[in-house]
């Protein structure tokens, strides 16, 4: 038996609803992946960088440079002995 026009229309509408639901599902999953793999790492990186105290790091590097200069002076004094 061949389906009549109403049955064909019902099948088309069911297919369209199903296709729409899958499209919404894919969009939600894509959004979640975007948030997880793009936005979250960017936010975490910015927060991580903001947690540094660059003045303290600069002081530490200057202290290290001063210490290396002092070590050179000690080395020169030991060579003179």
**Domain ranges (residues) in the chain:** 1-50, 53-81
Weakly modelled stretches of the chain, pLDDT under 50: none
pLDDT confidence of residue 14:
94
- Tell me the chain's radius of gyration from C-alpha atoms: 34
pLDDT confidence of residue 1:
54
What gap in Å lies between CA 41 and CA 45, rounded to an integer?
6
What gap in Å lies between CA 71 and CA 76, rounded to an integer?
9
What gap in Å lies between CA 81 and CA 70, rounded to an integer?
17
Which among 40, 60, 59, 43 is positioned nearest to 51, based on CA atoms? 43
Question: Would you tell me how many other CB atoms lie within 10 Å of the CB of residue 46?
Answer: 10
């Amino acid at each position: 038996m061949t389906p009549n026009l109403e049955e064909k229309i019902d099948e088309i509408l069911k297919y369209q609803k199903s296709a729409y639901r899958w499209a919404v599902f894919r969009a939600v999953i894509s959004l979640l992946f975007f948030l997880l793999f793009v936005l979250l790492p960017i936010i975490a990186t910015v927060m991580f960088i903001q947690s540094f105290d660059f003045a303290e790091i600069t002081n530490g590097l200057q202290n290290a440079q001063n210490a290396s200069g002092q070590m050179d002076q000690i080395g020169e004094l030991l060579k003179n002995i």
